[in-house]
Structure 1
Amino acid sequence: MVDREELLTASRREIYDSVPKIVVGVVVAFLIWLFGVLIFQPLANMLGDPLIFGLVGLGSLISAIILIALVLIFIGIFKEVIDVTNALAGYAAAAYSRKETSDEKLERYQRAFRGIAYVILAVIAFLFLLPFIAGIIPVLAGIVLVILVIWAIFILFRSGRLFSGEIERWAADATRKIESHREEMEREEGREE
């Protein structure tokens, strides 16, 4: 069992530590993307896309270099995103507990929030990487998109299933409250008649 106040403090500390690192990583990735798309790729195309060593076009080489740089940045961001999702799961678990939170409930929330964050991060990464993947092999971008869609549906379905027990409990509580309120209203109407 995890103490509610301890969980909130640890979650808050982790968010304060990780969010600035994520913001810096995204800004750096955006700047690399911006220079790549607006300056380096057009320069390579302006030079007539010559073959380097007779093997690969300059545009493809520039795209590959930028793609590798962006992938490395997203790998760095990935660890911080995991920390933030665990902290958000801690907040969610603490918000719906009175004094202590069970380890099982916290782990379930962490898995669900991680799954949602993975999908968001993967979609953002794909959007950043798309011009450079297409600059190397255009068909590869379509294949990666199909794989991303199938994977995202699977992960989101699994994350939804992790929350289903909580949603069912909340729905049952809400239904009980509505039903008791309705019965109380009927009793008051019966007294008035």
Structure 2
Amino acid sequence: MVNREQLLAESRQEIYDSIPKIAVGVAIAFLIWLFGVLIFLPLATMLGNPFLFGLIGLDSLISGIILVALVIIVLGIFGEVLDVAEATAGYAAAAYSRGETPDEKVERYRLAFRGIAYVLLAVVAFLFFLPFIAGIFPVLAGIVLVILVLWAIFVLFRTGRLFSGEIERWAAEFSRKVELERQDMALKEQQAQYREE
């Protein structure tokens, strides 16, 4: 069992520590992406895309260099995103419990939020990398997209299964409330009819 207040405090602190690091990493990645797409790749194309050493085109080389830089930055961001996902999971698990939170519930939330974070990070990374992957080998961008879609569906399905118990419980509570309200309204209508008679 995990103490609710301790879990909330630790989760809050981790979020406060990681969000600024993520923001800085994203800003740096965005600047590199922006300069790459708007300045460096058009310059390489404007130069007529000469082949360096007879092996590789200049735009492919520039795309590769920028792609490597973005991969390094995204890997740095990845650890912080996972920390935020873990903290969010802990926060969510503690928010919907009283006093002590079962370890298995915290772990289930962590796995689910980690899965969502993986998919979000992978999609954002793909969008960042797309112009540079296409600049190196256009068909590779399509192959990566197909793999990304299949993987994301698998991860999101698994994440949904982790929340299925909670969703079923919430749906049952909601159905009970709706049924009680319906019965209450029917009772009020019957009482109104009796008064009219």
State the TM bucket, normalised to the shorter chain: over 0.9
> What 5-or-longer segments of structure 1 have no aligned partner?
none
Alignment of 1:111-190 (within 5 A): 111-190=111-190
The equivalent residue for 1:70 is 70
Distance of 1:47 and 1:191 partners within structure 2: 86
Q: 63-72 or 172-181, which moves further after superposition?
A: 172-181
Q: Which runs of 5+ in 2 are unaligned?
A: none
TM normalised by structure 2 equals 0.94
For residues 138 and 186 of structure 1, what CA distance do their matches in structure 2 show?
A: 64
- Superposed, which structure 2 residues align to 1:52-131 within 5 Å? 52-131=52-131
Q: Which moved more, 1:59-68 or 1:178-187?
A: 178-187
- Equivalent AA in structure 2 for residue 44 of structure 1: A
| 1:80 Cα deviation after fit | 0.4
- Find the residue that maps to 1:22 and give its secondary structure: helix
Shift of 1:47: 1.4
- Please tell me the root mean square deviation across aligned C-alpha atoms, in Å: 1.3
| Cα offset, 1:190, TM superposition | 4.8
Structure 1 counterpart of 2:30, which letter? F
- Distance in 1 (CA, whole Å) between partners of 2:55 and 2:185 is 81
- 1:17 paired with 2:7, answer no
State how far apart, in whole Å, the 1-side matches of 2:24 and 2:61 are. Answer: 26
Deviations 1:6-49, CA, capped at 9 Å, x for gaps = 01100000000000000100000000001101111111111111
Letter in 1 for 2:136: I
Hey, what's the Cα distance between the residues in 2 that align with 1:182 and 1:141?
54
Give me the whole-angstrom Cα distance separating, in 2, the residues matched to 1:96 and 1:60. Answer: 51
Output the TM-score relative to the length of structure 1.
0.95
TM-aligned CA deviation for residue 72 of structure 1: 0.6
Distance across 1 between alignment mates of 2:146 and 2:89 = 29
**Count of aligned positions:** 193
Q: Percent identity?
A: 73
Secondary structure of 2:118's aligned partner: helix
Evaluate the alpha carbon distance shift between residue 185 and residue 60 of structure 1 in structure 2; reply closer, same or farther with a 3 A threshold: same
Residue type at the aligned position of 1:80: E
